[in-house]
Amino acid sequence: MTTLATTPTAEPTRISVHPGETRVRVGLVTGPLAPRLIDRGTSSATVAIAAAQMLLLDGDAVLIEIEVGPGCTLDIEDVGGTVAYPGTSSWEVRARVGAGGRLLWRGLPFVVTADGDSRRRTEIVLGPGAAALIRETLVLGRHGEIGGRIDAGLTATRTGPLLVERLVASGAFPGPGVLGTHRVIDSVIALGYRPPTVPGDLVLEQPGAVARRLGQHTHASDLDAVWAAWRATLREDDGPPSNVPSTEPWTGDRDEPADRASGRTSP
């Protein structure tokens, strides 16, 4: 029986965006992932993230904490995908989006190699009027390889549950009714608003929807167009920055340095 790591192997990666006088204030802390500020404006910021070390190795436990202040928009861009190598590892995201805020994260493929056993969890808490758009691509095995095991779960709430789901799958033991012979599960997840859907999409009871595709290759998915359409709808819904105070304050310094080695910060 394998045992997954339960505590981070390094300081958590942190990204926070909060209202400022002329531009949003951005706090970035490098952990296993290195966030870098690409752009920021009066109410929004774009941050790129890339691995700061080789990930995910046996025993690695990555934690990413995200805070989006009221009325702010955070757009996260993955620079490279993630590979879970042989052994046990975990990947956890904790995101909080304040009143009227927006979180967009177009994740690149998360690949679990042969003999890999990875636990992945995403928790998103939305404030009043907040919304999120997430792209998640899970892949069992590299090209020509039988993938390992993944235990992936996502929980999203806004006053009450929006979406709660969990997938447990193994490339070595494909189960009927789960992935079958497919090795790729690609998803676009909208939370807190109504995107344009088509037959076959999962429309949530509360505002939100899930578009999902199964396949053998990531490039065969047609969800790029879905992401673009759902993103356009979310950005069209953007209103003026909210003045509603955050009810869940950030537990750390909101203006922590982007890189502790260089001491850079975003005032």
pLDDT (tens digit per residue) in 119-135: 999 999 999 999 999 99
Question: How far is the C-alpha of 67 from the C-alpha of 254, rounded, in Å?
Answer: 9
**Mean pLDDT confidence for 206-224:** 91
What share of the chain in percent tops pLDDT 90?
A: 70
Q: State whether residue 154 is helix, strand or coil.
A: strand
Q: Per DSSP, which regions of the chain are E strands?
A: 13-18, 25-29, 33-40, 44-51, 61-68, 73-78, 82-84, 87-97, 102-106, 110-112, 116-126, 131-140, 149-158, 160-170, 184-191, 202-203, 208-215
Q: What is the pLDDT of residue 218?
A: 82
Q: What is the pLDDT of residue 94?
A: 98
What share of the chain in percent tops pLDDT 70?
A: 83
Q: What is the pLDDT of residue 178?
A: 66
**Mean pLDDT confidence for 41-49:** 97
Residue given tokens 């928790």 in the structure block: 123
182 pLDDT higher than 50: yes
Q: What is the pLDDT of residue 132?
A: 98
